Amino acid sequence: MKKWNYFTSNEITPRGWVKKQLRIQANGLCGNLDKVWRDVRDSAWIGGDADGWERVPYWLDGFIPMAYLLEDADLIARAKKYMNAIMDAQQPDGWLCPCPPEKRATYDTWTVLLIAKVLVVYYDCARDERAVDVLYKMMRNFHDLLQDGSIKLFDWGKYRWFEGFVALEFLQARFDEPWIKNLAQILKDQGMDYHTVEHLWVRPLNKWTFDTHIVNLTMMLKHEAVSHEMLGLPYTDEAQKLLDILETHNSMPAGTIAGDECLAGLSPIHGAELCSVVELMYTYELLYAHTGESKWLERLEVLAFNALPAANSDDMWTHQYDQMSNQIACIRFPGKTLFRTNSSEAHLFGLEPEFGCCTANFGQGWPKFALSAFAHNGNVIQSTVPVPNELNCSTAHIVLDTNYPFENTFVYTVEAKEDFTFSVRIPSFAENVRVGGKAAPEGDISFACKAGETYRFDVSYDAVPHFEERPFDLAVAKCGSLLFALPIGYTTRMREYEKNGVERKFPYCDYEYVPTTDWSYAYCGSPLTIQQKEVSDVPFSSQNPPVVLETDVVPIDWGFEDGYDTVCAKVPDSREPVGEPKRVELYPYGCAKLRMTELPIVE
C-alpha cells in the first residue's frame, strides 16, 4: 500500500464552483447555526444549558475547515470562540466533555472520540499549539479511566471506537509514548466487532439497532485502514469485503448505502440519512489516504457530486434527513411512515426534519472534500480529486482550472519550488485521455518538475453517457461520476412553527415540496446525449443545471405505493406505454430535488 497525506487549509485555496459551494454553505445553515439553533448557541460545551454531547463537535468538524478555507475573519473568530471555550473548560485531570465527574461512568464517550478529531482539525487549520496540549491531556485521561475501569465503551462509543484513531495517529507522530498504543488496543478490545453482525445486513427489518444503524456502518468501513498499523495487524481490505455485503443488499445509485435510519434494502423509495453521506465521504477520504487505492476516490466523487447536494436546498439553509432515489414529493406521509425507522417528516427540507445530528454534521462534507483535492507522498504530489483548487506548499504552487465534473478538461499551472513528481489521477471511466491534445497512455499521468521551472499541463478525457442496471429490472443514467435523474417540477409550502422549544423560522423553517409535473415514465432505450450548459453561482442549481443528458421517455402506468398518494410504487404497476415518446432533459441527481432516478427501459 502507498499512503498519502492531504494538505492543510493553510496550503489549499478552493477556486471556481467549489469556492462558490463553500460560500453558499457559509451563508446558509452551517455558517449560522451558532446564531439560530439553541443546541449550538446555548450548548453546555460553552457553558450553556443546552446539548452537551455530539452536536457542537459535529458542527465544528465542518465549520472550522470551512472558515479557514474561505479565509473568512468572522467565521474564524467564531470558530476560535468555541474552541477556546471548550479548551478553557478542561478539567485538571484532562477530562474535556461537559459532564460532572460523578456522571462520567454513564456518559457515552463517543463524544470524547469526536471532540478529539475536532481538536486535530482545529490544529491543522489554526496551528494552535494549545490544541495539541489539550488533546494530549484528554486522551491520556481517557486512557487512564478506561484502563482502571472507571469508564468503559458502550452504545455509540462502542460502535465507533475506531474514530479515535485519527487523534491517536496524530499523537503517536508527536509523542510516541506507550500509553497511546495501549489506548488503541483498549479501544479495539472494548469496541464492536462488526463481523459478528454481518448476517443482519442481508435482510433489513423495521427495527432500530446499533448493529444496522447506517451511520455506524458508514463510519465502520474505515476501521481496519485507520487502526491496523497502530495495532500491529496486517491490512486485508476489510472495507471492500464489508462494503460488498452492504451494497449487495442495501445500495443506492447515488453512491450511498440505503438506511433510513437503519439499513433499508434496495427499494428506490426508501432513503439514505444525510449523516451517512458525509461520514461515508470522510471514510473514503481516509481509506484512500491509508491505502492509496483509487477506487475509494471514485466512490468519494459519486457521493460528493450526487448524494450530498441532493439533500440540501439550493441555498443550503435547509436539508433532508432522508433522501430517496425516486422522490416524487416531499410531503408528510399520511398516517403510517414509509421509512423503516424514521418518522413521516424525515424527507422534508428543514432545520431539523428528524434528529438534529444531521443538522450539526452535514457541514463537514464540502470542506473536507475540498481538502482532498491534492495529496503528497515523499517527493510526489498528486491531483487526487480534480476539482477547481489551488495548492501552495513548500514544494510547489499548483493551480487547477476546471469545471469538473460538469466538464472533463483540466488546466494545471505548476510553479516548482523543488524537484518533484506531479501525478494526475485518471478515473477508470475516462476514455480518450489526452495531454496537450495528444493521446496519453492508460493509467495515471506523471510529470517530472524541476525547481524554478513553470509548467502548464492540459489534460482532458471523455466520459460516455450510459444506462446502468439496477435491481427490480430498473436502470439509471450515468456519465462519469455524475448520476442523472428525470426532474419533477414543484412548488414549496413553507411551515414556520416551534417544536420542543426550537423555532423554525424563515429561512431555516421547514418546507414541503409539492410536485407540479408528471413523473410516471419509462426510458425508451434511445441514446443519451450530453449537453453542456454554464455553471451558475449555484453549482448544483435546481433551476439551472450545469449539464444535462437528453433522451426519450414514454408515459407508463407506474402507480402509487399502497397506502400513499405522494410516493410512487417501488416498481411500476405496468411497463406498457400509454402514450407517445417525448424528448426530456435529465438533470444531475444533485440538482433534481424531486426526481425519478430508477426507471424501466421499455421498447
d(CA 506, CA 495): 9
CA 127 to chain centre: 25
**How many CB atoms neighbour CB 428 within 10 A?**
8
Q: What is the 3-state secondary structure (H, E, C) of 479-532?
A: ECCEEEEEECCEEEEEECEEECCEEECCCCCEEEEEECCCCCEEECCCCCEEEE
Q: What is the CATH number of domain 375-402+409-462?
A: 2.60.420
The pLDDT of 246-265, averaged and rounded, is: 97
Q: What's residue 374's pLDDT?
A: 98
Q: Is the pLDDT of residue 470 over 80?
A: yes
Unique residue bearing C-alpha cell 462534507: 365
Q: What are the boundaries of each domain within the chain?
A: 375-402+409-462, 466-596
Whether 350 contacts 311, CB under 8 Å: no
Classify 544 as helix, strand or coil: coil
d(CA 265, CA 250): 4
Instruction: Note the pTM of the prediction, 2 decimals.
Output: 0.98
Q: Is the pLDDT of residue 501 over 90?
A: no
**How many CB atoms neighbour CB 286 within 10 A?**
22
Residue 96 pairs in a beta bridge with none
Tens-digit pLDDT profile for residues 523-563: 998 999 999 999 999 999 999 999 999 999 999 999 999 99
Percent of the chain exceeding pLDDT 70 equals: 100
pLDDT band at 603; cut points 50, 70, 90: confident
Smallest CA-to-CA distance from 539 within 32, 25, 9, 64 is with 25
Count of residues in the chain: 603
Residue 548 pairs in a beta bridge with 531
Tens-digit pLDDT profile for residues 385-444: 999 999 999 999 999 999 999 999 999 999 999 999 999 999 999 999 999 999 998 899
Q: How many helices (DSSP H) and strands (DSSP E) are in the chain?
A: 18, 26
DSSP H helical ranges for 303-389: 308-310, 357-361, 365-370
R_g (Cα) of the chain, nearest Å? 24
Q: What's residue 500's pLDDT?
A: 84
d(CA 380, CA 422): 6
d(CA 551, CA 475): 13
pLDDT band at 1; cut points 50, 70, 90: confident
Most confident of 499-503, 508-512, 524-528: 508-512
| Cell numbers placing 423 | 501525478
Tens-digit pLDDT profile for residues 270-296: 999 999 999 999 999 999 999 999 999
The pLDDT of 139-160, averaged and rounded, is: 98
The pLDDT of 49-62, averaged and rounded, is: 96
Q: Are strands 420-424 and 380-383 parallel, antiparallel or unpaired?
A: parallel
The pLDDT of 127-148, averaged and rounded, is: 98
Tally of CA atoms within 13 A in the half-sphere of 154 that contains its CB: 9
The pLDDT of 185-191, averaged and rounded, is: 98
Q: What's residue 319's pLDDT?
A: 98
Where b means 16+ CB within 10 Å and e means fewer, 510-536 reads bbbbebeebbbbbbeeeebebeeeebe
Q: Is the pLDDT of residue 157 over 90?
A: yes
